Amino acid sequence: MADGTATVPAEATPVPAGSPAGTGRRPGRRRHGRRGPHAWLVLALPPFLLFAAIIGLWYLISYRLLDPDRRFLLPPPHRVVQVAFLDRGNAVVLFRALGLTAGVAMAGLGVAIVLGIGLGVLMSQARWIERAVYPWAVVLQTIPILALVPLIGFWFDFGLFSRILVCVLIAVFPITSTTLFGLRSVDPTHHDLFTLYGAGRPTRLAKLQWPTALPAIFAGLRISAGLSVIGAIVGDFFFKQGEPGIGVLMEIYRQGLRSEQLFGAVILSSLLGVVVFWFFGFLARRVVGSWHETASDLVAE
């Protein structure tokens, strides 16, 4: 400059140490693991308040809106806990039935995972397989499971195999569709890069398509986990041979107007679905972590 002062080039402007540019990271959303010390309270308070409101409404209906002789329709929560869970005899029966239903649901879910992921991979690698299989998978999904259960009983008897088969039929489609969607969601430029380096189909599937598809696959697993529990309970309603599962107990309690035990069975069934759903969310966090751009939204819970 004419006055003897020097100008500092824009690219040489010092950058604050705490800024994204100064740390070599591009700006973006904060990771879920870096919340403040009281973030757990923010996450836990809304569901806790909703739970308290539901319990309060439950007591209101039970004690204010129902006559004492009709209170069996909605017994108060403390009666459900006292009769279904604190009574040792009832609790043993409920948890034994829950264990049987959980075993059937997990066996069916395991078969559905292998079958669903396998079909998804095959359809992603060959269009003719997709055109041949996918329409029938959609048709099978649209048939009400209650219409198939009697046929399954006639064909395969009313034992354990039929219960597992019901779980497979109701849980396999979400895994198949999400696997196919994830494997087909690879950026075309990434495919071009693998083509440039001469990568074959196995390498492309293992190192490009499979990592990209993992978030979608885990989303399908969590959906199918809940459906498998529903399938196990539906199978219990129809296939009543052998040791009773939680669905059989529901029918017995309904016929005997034992509403406290019935509500206890419903609560245990829902908790089973929640635990399985949470497990696959936890597994997704361990496997996918934070490397995928959708992982923070897909496994946020």
| 3-state SS record for 231-246 | HHHHHHHHCCCCCCCH
pLDDT in tens, 151-161: 888 888 888 88
Nearest-angstrom CA–CA distance, 191 and 200: 11
Domains of the chain: 36-74 (no CATH), 78-298 (1.10.3720.10)
Query: 166, 152 in Cβ contact below 8 A?
Result: yes
pLDDT in tens, 243-292: 778 888 888 888 888 889 999 999 999 999 889 988 988 888 888 765 55
pTM above 0.85, yes or no: no
> Could you give phi then psi for residue 24, rounded to 5 degrees?
80, 10
Query: 182, 213 in Cβ contact below 8 A?
Result: yes
* 2-6, 53-57, 246-250, range with greatest mean pLDDT: 53-57
Query: 266, 275 in Cβ contact below 8 A?
Result: no
Angle between helices 88-125 and 160-183 (to 10 degrees): 40
